[in-house]
A = this chain, B = another copy of it.
Amino acid sequence: MEIIQSLHNPKVQLWRSLKDTRGRKEHRLFLVEGTRFVQEALQSSFPIQAILLREDYEPKPALVSRAPVFHLADHVFQAVCDTKTPQGIAAILSPQTLPVRGNAVLALDGIQDPGNLGTMIRTADAAGFTGVLISPECCDLFSPKALRATMGSLFHIGITISDDFLTLLNQYKQNGFSLLSSQLDGTPFFERSQIRPSFILIVGNEGNGVSEAVRKIATHHLCLPMQGAAESLNAAVAAGIMMYDLMRFSSAQ
């Protein structure tokens, strides 16, 4: 068994470059860490380029059957991973997403925090939403922090990363979807007027909310009521509250 010992190994340099957006874009690859995440990747349809194992890690045979396996010395594995105490297994994948289907869709318009982005995708999956649209202004879905926050949901829920968000939303609108823009000056969310069986919940940038152009084409402008002295909710918390309520009180499946 050959163990890669050098940080100067060209493969290691490539893998390390995947921590940055630039490296991911250049090589069209991303890295996932940990037993559970790698298992989910192997069970998915995502193309897997390589499995990386720390020299002391003994994987189950099923974990390493789909791609070339590389064994890395401890310090090399640590350098490739983003977490401080990696579990000893990682995988290199080509970025792709599952297709968006169904009639309960979350749209993210300029979300900047990777933790928020990933958490919202995870919550959409749990709430029973059928897809997520991501505007080009959002942070990178394939960053280590955003991936971790998804808890693997990107392998389960359809995601579209759009170059032309406004056109995409307009297409859904023409196909009969209600477009619900969540914004602080909207009407009370729990008193919303009838929405169609197909809908998109649009959540905006943490500081500035849903962009002006998107607000203009929305069919509903809604605000979660806030009591006390709180001026706002965390974006991922607010999205979770709205998604669960929509799934309870709409006919979307």
Contact-residue size bin, chain A (C-beta under 8 Å from the other chain)? 20 to 34
Cross-chain pairs A/B with CB under 8 angstroms, 29 sampled? A40-B229, A119-B234, A119-B237, A122-B233, A122-B234, A123-B233, A123-B234, A123-B237, A125-B228, A126-B226, A126-B230, A126-B232, A151-B230, A151-B231, A152-B229, A153-B228, A153-B230, A156-B229, A190-B248, A224-B244, A233-B240, A236-B236, A237-B237, A237-B240, A238-B240, A240-B240, A241-B241, A241-B244, A244-B245
Quick check: is A194 within 8 A (CB to CB) of the other chain?
A: no
Chain B contacts for A224, CB-based, 8 A: 126, 244
If the complex has contacts A234-B119, A237-B119, are A227 and B126 also in contact, measured as CB distance less than 8 A? Answer: yes
Name A206-253 residues within 8 Å CB distance of B: 224, 226-234, 236-238, 240-241, 244-245, 248
Distance of A224 Cα from B240 Cα, bound (Å): 12
Contact of A228 among B128, B233, B245 (CB under 8 A): B128
What is the oligomeric copy number?
A: 2
A238 partner residues in chain B, CB cutoff 8 A: 240
- Judged by a CB distance under 8 angstroms, whether A155 is at the interface is yes
Which of chain A's residues 16-63 have a Cβ closer than 8 Å to chain B? 40
The residue on B at minimum CB distance from A231 is: B151
- In the complex, A127 has a CB within 8 A of chain B: yes
A180 interface residue (CB < 8 Å to B): no
